[in-house]
Each structure stands twice: as C-alpha cells, then as structure tokens.
Amino acid sequence: MTITRRDAAKSAAFSALSYSRVMGANEKIGLGLIGAGNRGKHVMSKFQLNSDLEVRAVCDVYGARIDEALGKAPGAKSFYQHEKLLEMQEVDAVLIGSPDHWHKDHAIDAMNAGKDVYVEKPLCRTLDEAPLIVLAARRTNRICQVGLQQRSGSVYIEARDQFVKSGRIGKVTWVECVWNSAPSRGGTRRSGGVVDKPSNLDWVRFLGPVRYREWNPRIYFSFRSFLDFNGGRMTDFGHHWLDVVHMYLGERAPDSAVAAGGIHHPREGGDAPDTISALFEYPGFTVSFQSVVVGNPAPYGVTFYGDKGKLYVNRNRYVFTGAEKGDQPIQKDFPGDITEQHVRNFLDCVKSRKLPNGDVALAAISVQAPLLAVKSYLEKRRIRFDAEHSLTMPG
C-alpha cells in the first residue's frame, strides 16, 4: 500500500463509516491516559474541562506519577501496563502522553483495541513509524488526533485565512521558525533528587523498544536530552512549527533538509543538541528553523515573508505588516490555551466520526521534516527526499 502526499491531503475529506457502537447524545466519552508525566497530566486537565468526558483509567511505568494522576482523576482505575488499560470496555479513547519512543506502539495498540487516539507530538521517533500509524488508523477506522494544537487554534486559522489564503501576503518565498529559550538557572531539577531507581518504577517497560541499558535517572527524567528516545528540540518544537508551515502553504514534505548545531549548555549528559538550526527546501519557498539556548532569546513563533507583506504568528498573537511604505501593522491577540480547542475538536470527531483537524495523515507528513533534519545533523550532510512518494506502507 502506497500513500502519496496527495492521498494524505485528500484525507481531510474522509469520514470513518464504521464505529463499534453509536454514542448517545448525552453519553460521556471514557478516557484513558497512557503516560502520566507533566504533559500527560496537563492535557488530561484540558480534557476534563469538557462535561461529556470522564477519565476512567490512567497508566504509567512509575507509581508516583500514577498517584499524581489519580489525584486529578479520583475513581479512575490504574495500570502499569497499557495493554491492561486497553482491555477496559469503559474506555472509548486514549490520551497518549508517553515519551516519543513509545508513541507508535501505544497508538497502534490502542487503535487495534478499538480506541480512538489523541497522541502528543511528535507523532513518532523514526521516519518508518509514521506510515504504520496512519495505516492502523485507516484499517481500524479510528479517530487519531495528533497534539499539533495549532491546527485548531483560532489565532492560526484566522491569520491563515485572512492573509495567506486570501492572497494578501502575496507569494511566500521565505519562512522563519523560531523556538528559543534562556539558559536554565541552577541546573536541572527534573529528577526531584531521585538517584536510585524507585521500587515502583518499571525501568524495563520504560525502555520498551529501545535497546537495554542500566538505570539512569537522567534518561528517565530528561529523555528529550537523548536521541535514542526522541529527536531533541528539532522534533519537540520543530514538529509544531513545520506543521504550521504545511497548514499554511500545503501538505507536503520538503525536497531536502540540512541541519547543524551542537551541545553548548550541557545539563543532562545527553547527546541531543541544545542548539540546532535547519533549512528545508520546498518547491517555491525555503523554511528555516532554529532552537537555541541564549541569554536573550528571540520571541517564539513563525514568520511568513511574502512579496506583499509579512505575517508573524504564535499561539496567542498574529501581526501582519504590508510591504508598502507606511503600512501599519495589523495585530490581534488571542488569550487562552489553544490546546483546549484542539481537545474539543477531537471529542467532537469521536462523536461525528469526521477526521480531526490534526489528523494523523497530516502529522505523518509534517513530522518528516524535523526527522530528516535530525538525520542530517547526525550524518553531517544534506538529505534529499522524495516528498511525492514519501508515505510508502506495507499492504
């Protein structure tokens, strides 16, 4: 089975035709949380803002995190093994907040068990995993929303429609994506002082598909610093911003990627660069991405440069400035957390069976750019890519 970028883009019109059962208008959607770290619990709290949702199960490899999640969802059942959670008929959908190296298995296992899926970004850890998740979603007719919340954010939709789709910005040839941060003060405290492996932490299950190594608290509490477990800043932040580029300029992977960087602020002893810059070539335009640790970081966001103006957008603001002399900026602020809009879109699609805004097929395309950049960084070369036939999957 081969899916081209055109096939994946057309999937926005797809509607799943079958469902294990029809939910009643007043029936609550039962949610299971897999991965109860900080992000998992935070997104779970956004789900809990909806009256038609009930958290019924939580799962993690660390008992302390299970206890924290149960404190926010009293009455939910708890598990160390996600397979046991997926056996619950009371769970209709799962929120996957586990580390990146588990996303593929957790998502596919959940869909094979008949559950709809909301999986945090990045969608996956390696290029070959993305089409497998898309294939599972289509074969099982499950809803699979990826946590690229910009797809549902009013600020992004309005800015795109008013300035890009309308043609007001003109022809876009250059895009700058920035997600920088200031140096951490006082070193890392993510481990909370934990050195020895807690007795209620399943280290082997945490490692999962990654090769075995002895207990290392730095890996467990700061997995994003280690490239065996994720793609560092390039996938953690880059998947968000490259997905915005695709949302605005077309659902297509780049023709090439090149990246460079290094570790200039060592904190966790990992091998993921804390300084990374990449260039992506698309037909007709070029995209830059940077994520660095500096004392005076530039504002985070994406800036589109067209021949009639430029558009800056982040999660709470857009600013458009025309190219003519004397043009005054048009700015609009959007308070709040757009994750709430993305979660609501997912819940609506669980009921309607329509594809969600951040459908897995779209995310499978946009994750390719940052993963190619990671490959370029490691191999110290420019990577060329066949974007037209990039999602090739086994039949």
Buried b (16+ CB within 10 A) or exposed e, 252-265: bbbebbbbebebee
Phi, psi of 201 (to 5 degrees): -120, 120
End-to-end CA distance of the chain: 4
Q: What is the pLDDT of residue 17?
A: 40
SS3 33: strand
List all residues 6 or more positions away from 161 whose beta carbon is below 8 Å from its beta carbon: none
Residue at token pair 């990577």? 383
Q: Are residues 376 and 383 in contact, defined by beta-carbon separation less than 8 angstroms?
A: yes
Which has the minimum average pLDDT: 4-8, 146-150, 281-285? Answer: 4-8
- Write out the two tokens for 142: 């499950």
Q: Which domains does the chain have, with CATH numbers?
A: 2-149+339-360+386-392 (3.40.50.720)
d(CA 134, CA 117): 12
The overall average pLDDT reported for the chain is: 91
- The fraction of the chain above a pLDDT of 70, given in percent, is 89
**How many CB atoms within 10 Å of residue 394?**
8
Tens digits of per-residue pLDDT, 165-181? 999 999 999 999 999 99
Q: What is the pLDDT of residue 267?
A: 72
